[in-house]
Amino acid sequence: MLMNAADAEAGPDLEPRIATIGRELVAKMPTARRTPRAAVERRVMGAMVADPELRAAVFRFVDVRPACDDPRELARHLGELLAEADDSPLARRGAALADGPLTRRATAKAAALGVEQMAQRFIIGADARDALPAIEQLWRAGAATTVDLLGEATVTEEEAESYARRCEETLLTLHEASRAWPSRERLERDALGPLPRVNLSVKVSALTPLLRPAAPERGIAGARARLRRLLAVARDTGAHLHVDMESFDTREAIAELTLALLSEPEFADRPSAGIVLQAYLTESPRHLDRLLAWTREHPRAQPLTIRLVKGAYWDHETVEALQHGWTPPVFQDRRACDRNYEALTRRLIDAQADGRVRAAIASHNLRSIAHAAAYADARGLDVELQVLRGLGDETQAALLAAGRRVRAYCPIGDLVAGMAYLVRRLLENTSNDSFLRAQAEGVDLTTLLEQP
Amino acid sequence: MSATVPSPSTPASPRAFANEPVLELRRAEVRAAALEALAKLDATLPIEVPMLIGDELVRGEAFASVDPSAPERVVARAHAATAAHVDAAIGRATEAQRAWGATSAPERAALLRRAAELMRGQRTALAALAVRECGKPWPEADGDVCEAIDFLEYYATGAEALGRGRALIQLPGERNTMTYVPRGVTGVIAPWNFPLAILCGMTSAALATGNAVVVKPAEQAPACAKAVVDALHAAGVPHGALSLLPGGDEPGKALVADPRVHTIVFTGSCAAGLSILERAAKVEDNQFHIKKVVAEMGGKNVIIVDADADLDDVVPAVLSSAFGFAGQKCSAASRVLVHEHVADALAQRLIGAVATLKVGPAEDFATDVPPVIDAAARERVRDYTAQGAAAAARAAVATDAVPDADGFYVAPALLIGLPDEHPVIADEIFGPVLAMQAVRSIGEACDRVDAARFALTGGLFSRSPRTVEEVAARTPVGNLYVNREITGAMVGRQPFGGGRLSGTGPKAGGPDYLTQFVEARAVTENTVRHGLVV
């Protein structure tokens, strides 16, 4: 271990800088509601936060939406789900509309449309080609992207193969299109060298149906050939390939496979590649030890990118652990989690200063972002910040205005695939611990920027 | 003046009980510890399992239990009981019954909890034994140990509550009490598929309520039975109150027929269960009681998949329900009834998913489908699969997945579009064979479930609250699982057992189970003296 970073303080001198950067970012966020739709969504979100039964009904409707192809089925489900929320006056009104003989169809149609529009805000296109204009638009505006292909769960080899093919096609499509993009020096080079224009995030769980929690070697063997193929395509087209992290059950397999492949001679120099560190895992400091040890043993022409996230499976990890009688692998205390995020941020930025990794700080928490920016500034480094398409649009705009390097994580997929993603984002967005929720509820800036 | 009213009791308050946490096998260090326990066990094999009649170790004709993953490995050398041994064991139990029945419920509960503690101290060793003797893969073997511990704890708490009696209506001038007394000597006939848990659950329920027990374990799992009985003895259960008789049919039949036995607790096949019920109903000349049979029999469990189901969830849940432990659980799924709108999509995904299953030895963490229990089971499953594949519209039999080794391996099979009267649809196969049929509506699926002999577990995948409500209201099954796998019932959370020919239905691991082992006594005392209520 390099240092006992989890206990290290940011330093007393950093706090004023964090507060200043945070306030500047808020000042730069677009204040005028650009579209009436955004205002409606905000109201819906507000209603859901205040009304847990309605929230449950809405989630379940979003979840079942893709399975209802005819309007009658759609109306039936909407009515039944709203009827379950019988403590919620708003849901009762909705249920009456969804049950009324005259209003049934119209209500279901409006609800379905609402869901689709919401999904579209988070999803950048149905496929790579469809998404090209939006990706180029972001590039021109000064934001890089990483593209993520949504899809059904992989339960067969055929499905794994089809996902790998879609990834390949996406890399080629983006490679082709990106050549015509104008130059954006800020996005194409950092102190450690050139940065690829094309950036794809992949999921190992989609590359093989063989991931087994008690037998990581099966998932590793199952995904190895396909991930190697994608690394080769990325290398040959000069793209960046980023391996996403998923639930804790698969963490070991994903980390071991990724590092094993990147250790192979054919990938020693290229492509640019990355992995994810999940700060909500209590063991994440040790995971970072392992990654940094690997970077020392395997110096690369293109340093390994480590994307630091909080982690998106908190409910899943907690519920699974409680049902089995295990200690949850994730922090149960939000402030402890936030402190860990900051400690890991500093260690990553320190490692970037040594030239061994590229840090990518992915967060919608204003305090976490301001802390990363302040620490990077203090070390004289340019660190990449990442946001989710749809959820972090305002943060992205503020970061761009502040002249910082931003990458938007952009899911691509059809409606069916988008729903599971949308449900997760909605859950995150309206959960008790959500920073965005606190922000939306008008918690004052000093509190939001407080040291965790 | 009011008489003292016993406080109303709830057997086993859910707050007092928590399930034993299963091993976190997703962690490499936990897996390493498990393999270490297995290596340690291997060095001690074969385990000698004599009869335990009272405090006597008795030897008889020896027989072996073998490792289904490698049959040349002998796990136990057991000694088979004859009718004469049964007679002796019941004699000891009858002698012990009075003193054991007179102990207080808290005393007995304390012994059960001590046994739980002892088993907790040998978690991985016990799991390793189930891996070896019954070919149970680690997660299931460990689950078996945990469930055994759960039964001990749950029934300990339940027996204490039952020991406090039940509240009755009290009027001035009379004092009414109701208490429970043990029924008497209990015969336990246990299966091999949950060699620790079910044997331990049946035995500890009888002991907790003050009954002396004679245990006849499955022929395939004597060493697991010995481990449970040893733990109970070590905890302080008197030897006279708990005898162990390994063996085959003979001791089982003798146990059921003996007039001194009051209760027979059985888990196993439907045919064996029905014959026990029939034999137990006969009252001998010297027998002054009616025997009670608690029987947990077969299942032919159906998962219904509605048109609005999330197939991403359905496929893994169906796979684990049908093929986990090679389908050798009473609760295993053997039939899927899928709405015709999604039938083709589900068929395609399931066929592909069956091809990903790895058949292999139970001790290998990578194994999805372990061997079946013995050569006879292997032949039976192969016959059904061959018959089914010949008659099915589509079949996916993962023959390539079967290792070229001596274990009792069979290929997991998915058979699509068989007619209702086909044996694969009608019979309990107890192997990794899954039949799938399309239905026009969920109502039709329910009709088909209604037409079946068994009613143990069932599954439903639907995202419509009304459909869930309707199916739950009309299903005959004892355990309905909605939007999840249909195996893995937890003590205190999913009380387990079914109706129809699946059993007598008292729900093991539930709040009512212990009442099967007791008789109620009501006492009413007149408290009026000389016209005054005193």
Tens of pLDDT, residues A234-282: 999 999 999 999 999 999 999 999 999 999 999 988 999 999 999 999 9
Distance (Å) from the alpha carbon of B41 to chain A's nearest alpha carbon:
21
Give the Cα separation of B413 and B323 in Å (integer).
9
A224 domain residue, yes or no:
yes
Q: Given pLDDT bands bounded at 50, 70 and 90, which one contains residue A87?
A: confident
Strand partners, B496: B508
B262 domain residue, yes or no:
yes
B241 and B128 within one domain: yes
- Secondary structure class of B259 (helix, strand, coil): coil
A295 domain residue, yes or no:
yes
* A313, A435, B243, B429 from A344: Cα distances, Å: 19, 19, 60, 54
Give the nearest partner residue to B466 out of A80, A153, A212, using CB atoms.
Answer: A80
Q: What is the token pair recorded at B139?
A: 């997660």
Give the Cα separation of A44 and B53 in Å (integer).
71
A346 and A230 within one domain: yes
pLDDT value, residue A2: 39
**Tally of domains in chain B:** 2
A132 and A93 within one domain: no
In one-letter notation, the amino acid at residue B303 is I
B293 domain residue, yes or no:
yes
Out of A103, A120, A137, pick the residue that ends a domain. Answer: A120
Q: Given pLDDT bands bounded at 50, 70 and 90, which one contains residue A325?
A: very high
Distance (Å) from the alpha carbon of A337 to chain B's nearest alpha carbon:
22
In one-letter notation, the amino acid at residue A274 is G
- Secondary structure class of B137 (helix, strand, coil): coil
User: Which residue does chain B place closest to A73, by CA atoms?
Assistant: B308
A289 and A322 within one domain: yes
Tens of pLDDT, residues B54-101: 999 999 999 999 999 999 999 999 999 999 999 999 999 999 999 999
Q: Given pLDDT bands bounded at 50, 70 and 90, which one contains residue B418?
A: very high
**Tally of domains in chain A:** 2
Q: Which of B437, B378, B447 is nearest to B407 (CA)?
A: B378
For B393, other C-beta atoms within 10 Å of its C-beta total 13
Label the pairing between strands B242-244 and B263-267.
Answer: unpaired
pLDDT value, residue A13: 85
pLDDT at B47 over 70: yes
Label the pairing between strands B479-482 and B61-67.
Answer: unpaired
Q: Which positions 279-308 of B are in contact with A (Cβ < 8 Å)? A: 307-308
Average pLDDT over residues B289-318: 96
Give the Cα separation of A312 and A426 in Å (integer).
11
Average pLDDT over residues A40-48: 70
A281 and A177 within one domain: yes
Put simply, the answer to whether A212 touches B464 (Cβ < 8 Å) is no
Tell me which long-range contacts A285-292 makes (C-beta under 8 A, separation of at least 24).
A285/A1, A285/A5, A285/A6, A285/A340, A285/A343, A285/A344, A285/A347, A287/A251, A287/A255, A288/A344, A288/A347, A288/A348, A289/A1, A289/A2, A290/A255, A291/A255, A291/A259, A291/A357, A292/A2, A292/A347, A292/A351, A292/A356, A292/A357
A396 domain residue, yes or no:
yes
A89 and A22 within one domain: no
Q: Does A129 touch chain B (CB under 8 A)?
A: no
A174 and A208 within one domain: yes
In one-letter notation, the amino acid at residue A310 is K
Distance (Å) from the alpha carbon of B308 to chain A's nearest alpha carbon:
5
Contacts of A325 in chain B (CB under 8 A): 18-22
Give the Cα separation of B116 and B110 in Å (integer).
10
Q: Return all residues near A422 (Cβ < 8 A) that are at least 6 apart.
A: A62, A115, A118, A119, A122, A123
Higher pLDDT: B461 or A426? It is: B461
Q: Given pLDDT bands bounded at 50, 70 and 90, which one contains residue A74?
A: confident
Q: Pick the residue of A53, A72, A81, A155 with the most B CBs within 10 A to test the interface with B by mutation.
A: A155
pLDDT at B218 over 50: yes
Q: Which residues of B are catalytic?
A: 296, 330
B309 and B284 within one domain: no
Contacts of B310 in chain A (CB under 8 A): 63, 67
A9 domain residue, yes or no:
no
Put simply, the answer to whether A325 touches B315 (Cβ < 8 Å) is no
pLDDT value, residue A355: 94
B34 domain residue, yes or no:
no
Q: Does B24 touch chain A (CB under 8 A)?
A: yes
Give the H or E element holding residue A376: helix A366-378
Q: Does A158 touch chain B (CB under 8 A)?
A: yes
Give the Cα separation of A226 and A210 in Å (integer).
13
Give the Cα separation of B421 and A26 in Å (integer).
70
B16 domain residue, yes or no:
no
A191 and A67 within one domain: no
pLDDT at A168 over 50: yes
Put simply, the answer to whether A153 touches B353 (Cβ < 8 Å) is no
Contacts of B22 in chain A (CB under 8 A): 324-325
Q: Does B15 touch chain A (CB under 8 A)?
A: no
Q: Which positions 133-152 of A are in contact with B (Cβ < 8 Å)? A: 152
pLDDT value, residue B10: 44
What totals of helices (H) and strands (E) does chain A contain, helices first? 20, 10
Q: Return all residues near B55 (Cβ < 8 A) that are at least 6 apart.
A: B239, B240
Q: Pick the residue of A77, A154, A156, A159 with the most B CBs within 10 A to test the interface with B by mutation.
A: A156
A261 and A133 within one domain: yes
Give the Cα separation of B88 and B66 in Å (integer).
28
pLDDT at B6 over 50: no
pLDDT at A385 over 70: yes
Q: Does B521 touch chain A (CB under 8 A)?
A: no
pLDDT value, residue B281: 97
B118 domain residue, yes or no:
yes
B488 domain residue, yes or no:
no
Q: Which of A294, A290, A306 is nearest to A268 (CA)?
A: A294
B452 and B334 within one domain: yes
Distance (Å) from the alpha carbon of B452 to chain A's nearest alpha carbon:
30
The mean predicted confidence, pLDDT, of chain B is 95
For B147, other C-beta atoms within 10 Å of its C-beta total 27
CATH of the domain at B248: 3.40.605.10
pLDDT value, residue B122: 97
Put simply, the answer to whether A155 touches B312 (Cβ < 8 Å) is yes
Q: Return all residues near B494 (Cβ < 8 A) that are at least 6 apart.
A: B479, B488, B509
Distance (Å) from the alpha carbon of B356 to chain A's nearest alpha carbon:
7
The mean predicted confidence, pLDDT, of chain A is 89
CATH of the domain at A141: 3.20.20.220
- Secondary structure class of B408 (helix, strand, coil): coil
Tens of pLDDT, residues B503-527: 998 999 999 999 999 999 999 999 9
Residue A62's domain spans which residues? 36-120
Q: Given pLDDT bands bounded at 50, 70 and 90, which one contains residue A72?
A: confident
pLDDT value, residue A127: 93
B264 and B360 within one domain: no
B374 and B228 within one domain: no
A193 domain residue, yes or no:
yes
Percent of chain B with pLDDT over 90: 94
A337 domain residue, yes or no:
yes
Q: Which positions 302-361 of A are in contact with B (Cβ < 8 Å)? A: 324-326
Contacts of B20 in chain A (CB under 8 A): 325
Q: Given pLDDT bands bounded at 50, 70 and 90, which one contains residue B394?
A: very high
Give the Cα separation of B447 and A279 in Å (integer).
51
User: What is the DSSP code (8-state) at residue A203?
Assistant: -
Give the Cα separation of B208 and B111 in Å (integer).
9
pLDDT value, residue A31: 66
CB A124 within 8 A of CB A201: no
Give the Cα separation of A446 and A348 in Å (integer).
26
Q: What is the token pair recorded at A221?
A: 């063997």
Higher pLDDT: A43 or A338? It is: A338
Put simply, the answer to whether A213 touches B26 (Cβ < 8 Å) is yes
Q: Given pLDDT bands bounded at 50, 70 and 90, which one contains residue A155?
A: very high
pLDDT at B239 over 70: yes
Q: Pick the residue of B464, B467, B468, B471 with the most A CBs within 10 A to test the interface with A by mutation.
A: B464
* A63, A79, A274, A420 from A71: Cα distances, Å: 16, 12, 44, 21
pLDDT at B2 over 60: no
B257 and B370 within one domain: no
* Helix A366-378 with A14-28: angle, nearest 10 deg: 120
A400 and A351 within one domain: yes
B362 and B221 within one domain: no
pLDDT at A39 over 70: no
**Longest Cα pair distance anywhere in chain A, in angstroms?**
69
A54 domain residue, yes or no:
yes
pLDDT at B320 over 70: yes
CB B129 within 8 A of CB B223: yes
Q: Given pLDDT bands bounded at 50, 70 and 90, which one contains residue B12?
A: very low
pLDDT value, residue A40: 66
Q: Which of B185, B190, B216 is nearest to B202 (CA)?
A: B190
Put simply, the answer to whether A212 touches B352 (Cβ < 8 Å) is no
Out of A102, A120, A138, pick the residue that ends a domain. Answer: A120
pLDDT value, residue A229: 98
Contacts of B28 in chain A (CB under 8 A): 216, 252
B214 domain residue, yes or no:
yes
pLDDT value, residue B8: 41
A106 and A48 within one domain: yes
Put simply, the answer to whether A80 touches B464 (Cβ < 8 Å) is yes
A206 and A77 within one domain: no
* A147, B207, B353 from B262: Cα distances, Å: 70, 13, 49
B270 and B404 within one domain: no
B328 domain residue, yes or no:
yes
Higher pLDDT: A155 or A428? It is: A155
CB B343 within 8 A of CB B377: no
pLDDT value, residue A6: 40
Q: Given pLDDT bands bounded at 50, 70 and 90, which one contains residue A419?
A: confident
Distance (Å) from the alpha carbon of B398 to chain A's nearest alpha carbon:
13
A-B contacts (CB, under 8 Å): 86
pLDDT value, residue A1: 35
pLDDT value, residue A441: 72
B231 and B370 within one domain: no
B508 and B400 within one domain: no
Average pLDDT over residues B271-292: 96
Contacts of B346 in chain A (CB under 8 A): none
Put simply, the answer to whether A77 touches B307 (Cβ < 8 Å) is no
Percent of chain B with pLDDT over 70: 97
Q: Given pLDDT bands bounded at 50, 70 and 90, which one contains residue B15?
A: very low
| Phi/psi of residue A153, nearest 5 degrees | -60, 145
A169 domain residue, yes or no:
yes
Q: Given pLDDT bands bounded at 50, 70 and 90, which one contains residue B242?
A: very high
Predicted complex: ipTM over 0.85: yes
For A232, other C-beta atoms within 10 Å of its C-beta total 16
* Rg of chain A in Å (alpha carbons): 22
User: Which residue does chain B place closest to A158, by CA atoms?
Assistant: B352
For A442, other C-beta atoms within 10 Å of its C-beta total 7
Q: Which of A414, A304, A209, A137 is nearest to B350 (CA)?
A: A209
Residue B351's domain spans which residues? 301-482
Give the nearest partner residue to A326 out of B21, B310, B463, using CB atoms.
Answer: B21
Tens of pLDDT, residues A91-137: 777 877 777 777 777 777 777 777 777 777 888 999 999 999 999 99
A292 and A390 within one domain: yes
Distance (Å) from the alpha carbon of B286 to chain A's nearest alpha carbon:
50
Ranges A148-152, B352-356, B490-494: which has the least confidence = A148-152
Put simply, the answer to whether A81 touches B22 (Cβ < 8 Å) is no
CATH of the domain at B383: 3.40.309.10
Put simply, the answer to whether B352 touches A158 (Cβ < 8 Å) is yes
Put simply, the answer to whether B307 touches A67 (Cβ < 8 Å) is yes
pLDDT value, residue A418: 78
Q: Does B340 touch chain A (CB under 8 A)?
A: no
pTM of the model: 0.94
pLDDT at B38 over 50: yes
Give the Cα separation of B40 and B127 in Å (integer).
12
Give the Cα separation of B481 and A363 in Å (integer).
38
Give the Cα separation of B12 and A345 in Å (integer).
49
Q: Does B469 touch chain A (CB under 8 A)?
A: no
pLDDT at B483 over 60: yes
User: What is the DSSP code (8-state) at residue A250?
Assistant: G
